[in-house]
Structure 1
Amino acid sequence: MAPGYPPGALSQALPFMMRANPALLRSGRFYAVETAEGALIGCGGWSLERPDAPQDPVDPTLGHVRHFATHPDWVRRGVGAALIERCVADARSGGVRRLECYASLVAQTFYQSQGFRLLAPFDVRVGASIVIPSLRMMRDPL
């Protein structure tokens, strides 16, 4: 994410952004990719709940891509694409017809390569006072 954000913004935001989300981890909709040696090289998942408003009623046809990350040594080697396709397949089988994501500024090209289109810039609020410029993107139909 460093190329898209000032260092001060990331140093403040990353401790909040990197926290595990217990509900997502328990959901059965969060995946990890490991090497044959067991090294974690990627992760990501999806939910029906909106990441910015988990208490809101869900739309069963709209899923939300969540907490995607690929180890820097493994970027552009198919890890993220494999995770997206797993999420798409699972979401589709669950009746989801569209996937939304809040992408970092540097992830736009990746998500576009996976069939997402840009909807609008979007500010993600992290903690009480940190704002991270992001992009709201959509993939439809699944």
Structure 2
Amino acid sequence: MTHKFTHRVATKDDIPVLTSIMNASIGKLQDGFLTPEQVQASYELMGMDTQLIEDGTYYAIECEGEIVGCGGWSRRETLYGANHTKGRNPRLLDPETEAARIRAMYTHPGWARQGIGRMIMELCEGKAREEGFRTCQLMATLSGEPLYKVCGYSPVVYEEVPTSLGVNVPLIKMEKSLV
């Protein structure tokens, strides 16, 4: 069965539903890619970044009025993370010399592998291109890397990001030219 997905700019009122989708996605879609300890530690590095909603660059993906996924892009320096993640920087990027950020992509586990991720990527890359960005970067989880490769992103660096739980979470910085 083919579903018709629509998108809209996410609002503050969506935060509870979006957070629920994020938590379900983090907890389920990383199975087979990370140890249970790494999945638990991932919550420290991932989740809701309300700056994206405030900037109007975060999208809710819906099917028949139900939010089934979300994701966005940013013109700010922060590459990944939630409101609570260390190392955030709200500095605006220069589209001529710096890469836009693809951020916080999550699909509800019940809706995975149905085209939601690609829809978000196309939407975000198009918006970044409209604002003059020539490149996009993102920080991928191991479970997200296959999608990003199919969408034309190349790995730049593999990292083991330490958490307060004493567990390192593997992440991959990836990049794509928009020109």
Q: TM-score, normalised by structure 1?
A: 0.87
User: How many Å apart are 1:24 and its aligned residue?
Assistant: 1.1
Find 1:25's aligned residue among 50, 53, 58. Answer: 53
User: Are 2:31 and 1:2 aligned?
Assistant: yes
RMSD: 2.1
Unmatched runs of 5 consecutive residues or more in structure 2: 1-29, 79-86
Q: Secondary structure at the match of 1:13?
A: helix
> Quick check: 1:35 aligned with 2:63?
yes
Identity of aligned residues (%): 26
Structure 1 counterpart of 2:75: 48
Unaligned runs of 5+ in 1: none
Q: What one-letter code is carried by the residue in structure 2 that aligns with 1:34?
A: E
Question: Paired residues, what number?
Answer: 140
Match of 2:93 among 53, 58, 64: 58
**Which of 6-15 and 102-111 deviates more?**
6-15
Aligned to 1:88: 125
Give 1:30's aligned amino acid: Y
Judging changes above 3 Å, is the alpha-carbon distance between structure 1 residues 128 and 50 closer, same or farther for their aligned structure 2 residues? farther
CA distance in 2, matches of 1:129, 1:58: 32
Higher strand share: 1
Correspondence for 2:24 = none
Whole-angstrom distance in 2 between the partners of 1:128 and 1:55: 26
